[in-house]
Amino acid sequence: MIYKSLYRTYRPQQFSEVVGQKHIVTALSNALKRNKIAHAYLFCGPRGIGKTTVAKLFAKAVNCLQPDQAPCGECASCVSMNQPNHPDIIEMDAASNNGVDEIREIVDKVKYAPVEGKYKIYIIDEVHMLTSGAFNALLKTLEEPPRHVIFILATTDPQKVIPTVISRTQRFDFTRASVKDISELIEKVAEEEKIQIDPEAIKLIAELADGGFRDGLSILEQVIAFADEEISVEVVSEVYRLAKAEDLQYFIEDILNLDVKEAYRRLELFDQMSIDYRRFTHDLMELCKASVILKLTKDSTFVAGRFQEAAETLSMHSESHRLLDFIDEFLNVQNNARFSGLYRSYLEVATLKLCQVEEQKVVEPVTERPTVTKVAMDKSEKSPVLPVQPKPQKKTRVEPKVEIKAPNPTNSQKVEEDIISVLIDLMVLGKKELREQESERWYKVNDLALDPEYRKVAIILKNSDIKISGEEFVVVSLARQEQVNVLNQPSNQQLIRETMKAAIGTEKSVLAVSNQELSKAVTIFMDKMNSKTLPTIEEAQKQLVRFEVKEPEEIEIIDPEALLKEMLGDLVVVKDE
């Protein structure tokens, strides 16, 4: 017996077997029952969702000898129409027969009565491929066909069908199949074929089908031919050159950690595995999207099964705005590489963009001092002529501020212990709702990184995530220790407070810590919480040595005129300019 493909073997034979197009099946069934059959129909929708199948079922139904059960599949007419090359069902592929001559041939034959049934049905597939002349040749017959003729036009691109044809037909829009519908169909076919297949593999095949039933069964057929025993996710991934969810997670984490070398090394491994980069880019977007959804909803039902574990990990260790930046970059890769096919090259560029952090040079502010300028000496005067300096101002007093002071990095082990101790106190004082509110506004730091006034610290802050927030402080974490050191420089604190006010609306002190320090602090915090040894809010406030009030410093203003007179005596003559 000649082998028949799965999508042909399991093609629906009755309207009740059609999946996912209930609105169309209901409309056509009611038209049959009420005997209100139109002379022309236009079926629109993506490939592989049942347009031609429904057209053939409708052709059987209008000629069925049992109208109440049409198509019954048992009467002489239905049995006859199950056979290929039925004289009353004429199928034409407009992609290969798109000229005027083919349409004129149809127009010449429509006047002949059906051979066996009540109606003669013309099914023209991919009708949008017809030439302009062919469309025009069909118009008159399509508008007023003989009573025994029904036209069913099918297309995947209705925008290319001329409006005068659309206006002469009843249009039905077929919808893309859901992953659930495709999964149920694959499960049913696997059961009929006695194929052992993992539920997660079924879901993955349904996702790869991209909304098409025919594609789903074709993928299943290919995987069946490849697999030896049970079909698993690994088998499907190997056949279609898909990256595993954990590989996607590790690649994203490399970029989050700004580890360009490791990210490029991983791309080389993917190259050796012959990964499909188009699908790889799509999966990266899906994983980032799943992580953001999981972070915001706390509901894993919205996340694909193969991504759940990876999405949970990423959602715990990254901020939403950062993952949204990843989605934007990967979407740009898809758009740019769609026609050129250079997915690998665009992915490398996207990796560099996401990892790029401008090197920061910490420039200590230099106190301005009066300089002695060489001036021309007047021959008639032996004394130098100096410009008049402004009168000395009164001593100013700077208001005290509450700041987070990072420990002096003399003993690294002692510093780390101090930081973890302070972090635990800050966790006790932190407020979750405040952190969530400020995290939502944290994206504004990206704009401040372009502002020369805030750029020095904002370009580092944009790579950080808010981990703890209190009324007067914020703790941010970074992947690179050198960036942590820059933010904790005392000379940068005032600029950081101003940057925080511009970003989140409140001037706050900032303590920067590394991801490793934060991870250790969280572990110790959880242990203390389980053992009920966490400090109370009052104890945390008392023990928090990093908050200190800086005493104001008096700035002594030197009068250069008095200083020069003290040094040179009457030799100095000051003239007004």
CATH of the domain at 472: 3.30.300.180
HEC per residue, 16-44: HHCCCCHHHHHHHHHHHHCCCCCCEEEEE
- Whether 230 and 255 share a structural domain: no
Q: Tell me how far apart the alpha carbons of residues 284 and 358 are, in angstroms, rounded to a whole number.
A: 25
**pLDDT tens over the chain, length 577 residues:** 577 788 888 888 888 888 888 899 999 999 988 888 899 999 999 988 889 999 999 988 888 888 777 787 788 888 888 877 788 888 888 888 888 888 888 888 888 888 888 889 999 999 999 888 888 888 888 888 888 999 999 999 999 999 999 998 999 999 988 888 999 999 999 888 888 888 888 888 988 888 888 989 999 988 888 887 788 888 888 888 888 888 888 899 888 888 888 888 888 888 888 888 888 998 899 889 888 888 888 877 777 777 888 888 888 878 888 888 899 989 989 888 888 888 888 888 988 888 875 333 333 333 333 333 333 334 334 333 334 344 444 444 333 343 455 555 445 555 667 778 888 888 888 888 888 888 888 888 888 888 878 888 888 888 888 888 888 888 988 888 888 888 888 888 888 888 888 888 888 888 888 888 888 888 888 888 888 888 888 877 776 644 443 433 444 445 556 655 555 555 555 555 4
Answer yes or no: do 437 and 495 share one domain. yes
Report the domain count for the chain.
4
Same domain for 228 and 142, yes or no, is: no
Find all residues with CB under 8 Å of 260, minimum gap 6, and list them: 351, 352, 355
Full domain range(s) for residue 85: 6-173
Do 51 and 124 fall into the same domain? Answer: yes
Question: CATH code at 226?
Answer: 1.10.8.60
Look at residues 145, 173, 201 and tell me which one is the last residue of a structural domain: 173
Pair (136, 162) in one structural domain: yes
CATH number of the domain at 110, please. 3.40.50.300
Q: What's the sign of the alpha-carbon dihedral 334, 337, 342, 347?
A: negative
One domain, residues 431 and 500: yes
Residue 576 lies in a domain: no
**Domain co-membership, 448 together with 500:** yes
- On whether the CB atoms of residues 174 and 51 are closer than 8 A, the answer is yes
Would you tell me how many other CB atoms lie within 10 Å of the CB of residue 134? Answer: 20
Which residue, of 239, 263, 291, is where some domain finishes? 239
> In 3-state terms, the chain is what percent helix, strand and coil (to 5)?
55, 10, 35
Contact status, residue 210 vs residue 52, Cβ threshold 8 Å: no
Look at residue 560 in the predicted model and tell me its pLDDT: 57
Residue 406 confidence (pLDDT): 53
pLDDT of residue 554: 42
Claim to verify: residue 417 and residue 519 sit in the same structural domain: yes
Contact (Cβ atoms closer than 8 angstroms) between residue 106 and residue 99: no
Structure tokens given for 477: 């974490």
The answer on 338 and 206 residing in a single domain is no
pLDDT digit string (tens) for 340-393?
888 888 888 988 888 875 333 333 333 333 333 333 334 334 333 334 344 444
Number of neighbouring beta carbons within 10 Å of residue 315: 20
Verify that 234 and 251 share a domain, yes or no: no
Q: What angle do CA 150, 154, 157 make, to 5 degrees?
A: 145
Q: Which of 188, 217, 239 is the last residue of a domain?
A: 239
On whether residue 343 sits in a domain, the answer given is: yes
Give the pLDDT score at 381.
Answer: 40
Residue 193 within any structural domain of the chain: yes
Please give the backbone phi and psi of residue 468, each rounded to the nearest 5 degrees, phi first: -140, 140
Instruction: Flag whether 390 is in a domain.
Output: no
**Are 295 and 441 members of one domain?**
no
Same domain, 429 and 512: yes
Evaluate whether residue 291 is within a structural domain.
yes
> Any alpha helices (H) in 430-535, and if so which ranges?
432-441, 444-448, 455-461, 481-487, 493-504, 515-530
Half-sphere exposure of 1 (CA within 13 A, CB side): 3
